[in-house]
Structure 1
Amino acid sequence: MATRETSDTIVLFRNAWGEVDKRFDLGRLGLPSDVTALLAEAFRGHCVGLTAETQRHFYGSLRVFASFAQEENAIADVADVTSRMVGRYRAWLDRQTGSDGKGWSASSKANTLAVLRQLIDWTKRHAPERLPNRIDFPYNPWPNRSPAPRPKLGEGVLKSILQAAYEEIDEAWARFQTGCRILETPGSVKGVDPELCRMVRSIARAGDGVMPAGHEVKIRRSPVTRMGGLRVVGSYLHLTMEYLPAFFLAIAIQTAGNPDPLRRLRRDCQSPHPLDEHRVMIDWGKPRAGVKVKRAQRRSFDRRRPYAAPHLVDRLIAMTAPLALQARASDRDLLFLTKSEKKKTVAVVSMSTLGNGIKRFIARANERIAIWNRAAPERWREPLPDFAMAFLRGSAATQVYTASQGDLIAAQALLNHARIDTTERYVRGPEAARIQTETIARAQALMIGWVMGENTVSQASPAAMPASVPFGHDCLNLLGGDRPGRPCSRLGACLRCPGLVIPLDAEHLARILQAIAALEEARTRIDPTRWALIYADSHRILTGEIYPDFPGELHDAARTIMAGLPTLPVLE
């Protein structure tokens, strides 16, 4: 919710509990008063439902626009806000340089200009009388601005990160359980230093179960130093920034989620799997997932695995329970809570704090790996590279894409993208190029063999024998898929095969129409959740990707053929 203060140039954004979440004073930008009022009203109306990070981005872009107006002396009043001014602003952005002396990237310039365009568009819709002139923005002002693919972490690196994370998670959980035993009894605890017991109980009383600031608790410094410092002692009471990155990285790799939405993972994110009693669903939000209807991000995990994400979430819930009691209302239901040493408040961890924590995690992990390699050189472990949170999602998608032998739909399902071209940008890179080249070559060889009536594989091998598969096309090499020597893992789900070829004739269209009708009939009869999990992808591929390719003149003949086809098995 956005509200006004006494000045129309000040914009307040409040959270669901009525607390002021963000405050922006556009009067400090130095723009003419009527332009400032116009932008403040648009900022207030357009950004009210956006995240705090997006609101800060909008304000930062407005500061850039104000710098342009002052340097170019371009705007005296709102009458100067014209299409010509937009062109001058675009040219001014082209001249800007960063701290390295290089010009801004095309994406940075496009995002900055897009903020002004969105605010002007909002004004056109809601208060057109404020704009005395027509204002047009260029379409795609910086073409070909797709950034270079982000670095991908290989399978070995991802496993090393997970191993290092699990080591710290076990250490954190053991400390927290020890702290729970200390607080449950006033006496000594077996295997625990009595001095540590007295220290943990004293700190818990002083901070109501949460580590207070150093000046807020009166304890002897020498024992604290001997125990590793206040941060180490605090880990006996609750989750600290020393261990939070390990939990975050493990969950981020397993879910392949975006870092910022995962940072705001809720405490009630788990739900039972509708079909498998051993699996648990984890849901998290994603502000950009969908325009009109937000799509939940969701993955299921087998609880029988000791380090599965649901077990990590359970540990986080227990370890952050003392922090949740002291968090503000808007953060109380979130999972990744931490107490700020600077602000002395409990809140969800910020992206900058998390990034710094991951750098320290890498340093600690490499210290342990160096010790391991000196002690056991025959079982060498690779040190962790310097990586960013943004690398994890694309790296996980690339691993799925590689393991499925180039099945982009499998990677799309993992990332929950509405458009497959978005998924392609995530997996783009040398490994994807290699798989695509091999897939194209294999598909071309199969097509030539099919057209020429010749098999490209030795007739002595059973793999060379064609076999009929769903929807009337033929598989020319059952044993030549992603598991050499064994039937292809996509057999029965051939719509996902990258080598799928369906002739554009009436007979095959008839089979496609029959399959679509069977799927739609099943949708009205069976459980909706089961249909969505098992049949929805096939229906989407048939109706959205295969059916539109058939020319319209084939439809009448196909429907005639369809009436004489054998009945398909009933879908359950």
Structure 2
Amino acid sequence: MRTDRRRIDRRLSDEAQPTVSIEGGPVVLFRDAWGELVQRFDLGQLNLPAELVAPYAEAFRGHHAASSPATRHACWNALKFFARFLAEGGSVQSPPDLTTELFGRYILWLDALPSRTGKPCAPGLRHNRYQPVKLLTEWIARRRPDLMPAKPSFPFNPFPGRHAPKEGRRLSSSQLKAVLRACYEDIDDAWALFEEGQRLLLAPAKSDDPDGFEAMLREFHRLGHGVMPSRRALPDRLGRRLHLHGGHDRFEHHLHATPDCLAPFFVAIAIQTAGNAEALRLIDRACVEPHPLIEHRTMIDWQKGRAGHLVKRAQRRSFDRRRRYAAPNLIDKLLEMTAPLAARAPASERDRLFLMRRPGRDISVIQRTTLEGAMARFIERANRRIDAWNADHPDRPRIALPRFHTKMFRGSAAIEHYQASGGDVRAAQTVLNHGSPELTDRYIRGDQSRALQHETIARLQGMMVAWILETSGKSSPCSSTSALAAETFGHRCTDPTAGGEKLCPHFGGCLSCPGLVVPIDATHLARILLAIEQLEKARTRLDPQRWALIYKPSHDLLVGRILPDFPVELHGDARALMPSLPALPALE
């Protein structure tokens, strides 16, 4: 049935569509999915030329609308350096002045900019100060051609070497075990305080003293709706009596998790999962799920922003629930300790696991700087506990915890898996969930992995030399029950006709083996010359196509790759030994 419908105009228009900004002006505001303000940047505070403020603010607002807060903050820092460069030059006043030559001078300016130590800045740091400005400039040239009629061009890789492998400090196996043991002790203490607080809140009051610990704990729980109120929000009567029961922190430990409680949980989970520190810091509360096949195992899933270019790879590890300190059991405890915080957290932070109450502010996920400070205090507490243990048990001393930071755990765990597998980089690659072994090599590269590699190479070389010199007492992989009949191409070969009258189909294939070892002496040179002579004789009487298909690859390898490695002065002695060598089999 025919209907009269309006035809759709599918022609492309050449006219540039005007850009509509949701929030104009130099102030760039970013809101979350619930409409709450999460970040605010005022480009008017930068020393940018007046005519560049609005275009870069519009580009900042449009390009980073879906970016993470950390990416936006990095872009803001890059704009600070670019504004400083423009202020020193003084030649840029409007968008048309943003030329290719200008950004070339900006690259040279970044190269000459010293770091805090006086040395040149690392290539990665220079890239982080250049790339965000480049992206915003390209956004302006693409979306606002009326402001930038000539689009500047940028070099492909202005800071080479920023992806070069860096050997960072790693924790040894004994140090990782010591850190985990200290984490479990600290977790037990924090959990005991939290359980005591929950038990006191549920039990009937045993005393009518309004200044007692139980009464004050109940009052704080009521005032903060489960969360410890800040010192400023406490009534004067209660604030003056905090010191009678250990201060504000003691009550907070009984009600919910604190930054000092989160630090050992974070360190233990980071070591067990070998996950990225930033991804684990933002892990969701619903990250634990049962294993689909094994009853006692549990899966932990978390998100990683850069896991895969086109298809995001799931970050996932499984653990045995029957182990007391397995990561899923630690997460269960953390869920209970942060439940009061999650109930009071804003909608954008409510799904996070590592929640904390910020002093004088709202509840949010723990910040990186706060986490690093809490980890430093954790190391001090653990070392004091270890010193006390060593004083009481001199016969069973414990090693002190070294200074560490969050980025050390992933590489340290990767090296342990690499060593446990006997040097298989694929084992570490699976644990780190990398798409290529080249990226995994950056994590395992160090003194420990080099020592294992040298040990493996020395062991294999010893096995090959022993096999060549017949000192190992073992036969070659190609050996048969018959005695040795020939040493064909300068290395050991068993009877080439052991399978019957016909020549072995793998005869000569060993020449292409990457592990081939040919000693440089007259005897082995004589065997090689005899093999070349036998191959060249066969070329005159065999079918040319048969010779080219079967024997020519071996002849080319002997003549072109193996024979040139022997010095010229050995040839005379080698030819004198050729008549005494066993005859080679006739080639058919």
TM-score band, normalised by shorter chain: 0.7 to 0.9
2:217 is paired with a residue whose SS is helix
The answer to whether the aligner puts 1:325 opposite 2:340 as a matched pair is no
Length-normalised TM-score, structure 2: 0.73
Distance 1:6 1:180 in 2: 47
The residue number in structure 1 matching 2:422 is 405
Task: Choose 1 or 2 for highest CA Rg.
Answer: 2
Distance 1:220 1:194, change over 3 A: closer
The corresponding residue for 1:174 is 192
Quick one: distance in 1 between partners of 2:369 and 2:376? 11
Cross-structure match for 1:161: 179
Q: CA deviation at 1:349?
A: 0.5
Is 1:423 aligned to residue 440 of structure 2?
yes
* Aligned counterpart in structure 2 of residue 339 of structure 1, from 357, 360, 364: 357
Matches within 5 A, 1:440-459: 440-444=457-461, 457-459=472-474
**Aligned residue type for 1:278:** H
Q: 3-state DSSP class of the match of 2:259? A: coil
Counterpart residue number, 2:90: 73
Distance in 2 of aligned mates of 1:10 and 1:328: 24
Q: Does 1:206 align with 2:216?
A: no
Counterpart among 404, 407, 414 of residue 387 in structure 1: 404
DSSP-derived class of the 1:271 partner: strand
The Cα of 1:120 is off from its aligned counterpart by: 3.0
Q: Quote the residue 1:479 is aligned against.
A: none
Residues 1:423 and 1:246: Cα distance change in structure 2 (over 3 Å): same
Q: TM-score normalized by structure 1?
A: 0.75
Counterpart amino acid of residue 433 in structure 2? N
Matched residue type, 2:391: R
Match of residue 57 from structure 2: 40
CA distance in 2, matches of 1:172, 1:109: 43
Structure 1 residue ranges without an equivalent (≥5):
469-501, 506-552, 555-572
Please tell me whether the aligned partners of residues 397 and 426 of structure 1 are also in contact (alpha carbons under 8 angstroms): yes
For the structure 1 residues 465 and 244, does the alpha-carbon distance in structure 2 shift closer, same or farther, using more than 3 Å as the test? farther
Matches within 5 A, 1:403-552: 403-444=420-461, 457-459=472-474
Partner of 2:377: 360
User: Aligned in 2, Cα 1:395/1:503: closer, same or farther, shift over 3 Å?
Assistant: farther
SS of 2:206's equivalent? coil
Q: Map residues 83-482 of structure 1 onto 2, 5 A cutoff.
A: 83-145=100-162, 146=164, 148-188=166-206, 195-218=212-235, 219-220=237-238, 224-343=242-361, 345-444=362-461, 457-459=472-474
Alignment CA distance shift 1:441-1:83 (3 Å) = farther
8 A contact 2:279–2:304 mirrored in 1? yes
Q: For residues 160 and 369 of structure 2, what CA distance do their matches in structure 1 show?
A: 31
Query: Structure 1 residue 467: deviation in Å?
Result: 11
How far apart, CA to CA, are the structure 1 residues paired with 2:478 and 2:239?
A: 77
Whether the 8 Å CA contact 2:466–2:472 is kept in 1: the answer is no
SS at match of 1:150: coil
Gapped runs of 5+ residues in structure 2? 1-19, 480-508, 513-548, 551-588
**Aligned residues of 1:68 and 1:74 also touching (Cα < 8 A):** no
Alpha-carbon distance change, 456 to 81 in structure 1, aligned in 2, over 3 angstroms:
farther
> Take 1:299 and 1:324, find their aligned partners in 2: how far apart are those partners?
25
Q: Deviations over 1:453-486 (max 9, x none)?
A: x877433xxxx78599xxxxxxxxxxxxxxxxxx
- Distance in 2, Cα, partners of 1:420 & 1:128: 43
8 Å contact kept, 1:188–1:194 = no
The alpha carbon displacement at 1:79 in A equals 1.5
**CA–CA distance in 2 between the matches of 1:397 and 1:128?**
49
Q: Which amino acid aligns with 2:473?
A: S
CA deviations 1:361-392 (Å, max 9, x no partner) are 11111111111111111111111111111111
> What is the CA–CA distance in structure 1 between the aligned matches of 2:80 and 2:121, rounded to whole Å?
16
Partner of 1:564: none
Residue 494 of structure 2: aligned partner? none
SS at match of 1:62: helix
Cα distance per residue 1:275-316 (max 9 Å; x no partner): 211111101111111223322211111101000000011001
| SS in structure 2 at match of 1:141 | coil
Maintained 8 Å contact 1:446/1:456: no
Structure-2 change in CA distance of 1:247 and 1:160 (3 Å):
same
Aligned twin of 2:80: 63
Q: What are the Cα deviations for residues 484-503 of structure 1, in whole angstroms up to 9, with x where unaligned? A: xxxxxxxxxxxxxxxxxx98
In structure 1, how many angstroms separate the alpha carbons of the residues matched to 2:338 and 2:471?
61
Instruction: Name the CA distance, whole Å, in 1 between partners of 2:53 and 2:138.
Output: 16
Q: Which amino acid aligns with 1:282?
A: I
Pairwise CA RMSD:
2.9
> Which deviates more, 120-129 or 41-50?
120-129
2:37 is aligned with 1:15: no
> 2:429 is aligned with what amino acid?
Q
| Displacement of 1:207 | 1.1
2: CA distance between counterparts of 1:40 and 1:287?
A: 25
Asked if structure 2 preserves the Cα contact closer than 8 Å seen for 1:327 and 1:346, the reply is yes
Q: Is the 8 A contact 1:74 1:85 kept in 2?
A: no
Amino acid at match of 1:82: T
Quick one: structure 1 residues 13 and 446, their matched pair in 2 at CA, closer, same or farther if it must change by over 3 Å? farther
Q: 1:6 to 1:413 in 2, by over 3 A?
A: closer
Query: Is the Cα–Cα contact under 8 Å of residues 23 and 29 in structure 2 kept in the other structure?
Result: no
Task: Write the letter of the residue equivalent to 1:240.
Answer: T
Supply the distance in 1 between the matched residues of 2:389 and 2:364 (Cα, whole angstroms): 36
Q: Give the equivalent residue in structure 1 for 2:565.
A: none
- Structure 1 residue 423 displacement after superposition: 0.9
> Distance in 2 between the 1:404 and 1:7 partners?
57
Deviates more, 1:237-246 or 1:21-30: 21-30
Q: Residues 89-135 of structure 1, C-alpha deviation per residue, up to 9 Å, x if partnerless?
A: 01111222233333322221122112222223444554455432232
Tell me the SS of whatever aligns to 1:21.
strand
**Contact 1:11/1:23 (8 A) holds in 2:** yes
**What are the superposed Cα offsets for residues 424-480 of structure 1, whole Å, 9 maximum, x if unpaired?**
101111111112223334445566788x6x877433xxxx78599xxxxxxxxxxxx
Maintained 8 Å contact 1:5/1:11? no
What one-letter code is carried by the residue in structure 1 that aligns with 2:77?
Answer: G
**Deviation of 1:213 (Å):** 1.1
Compare 77-86 and 214-223 and name the one that shifted more.
214-223
In 1, Cα distance between equivalents of 2:357 and 2:47: 37
CA contact (8 A) 1:256 1:415 kept: yes
Which one is further off, 348-357 or 22-31?
A: 22-31
Q: What SS does structure 2 have at the residue aligned with 1:211?
A: coil
Deviation at 1:83, TM superposition (A): 1.2
Q: Is the 8 A contact 2:211 2:241 kept in 1?
A: no
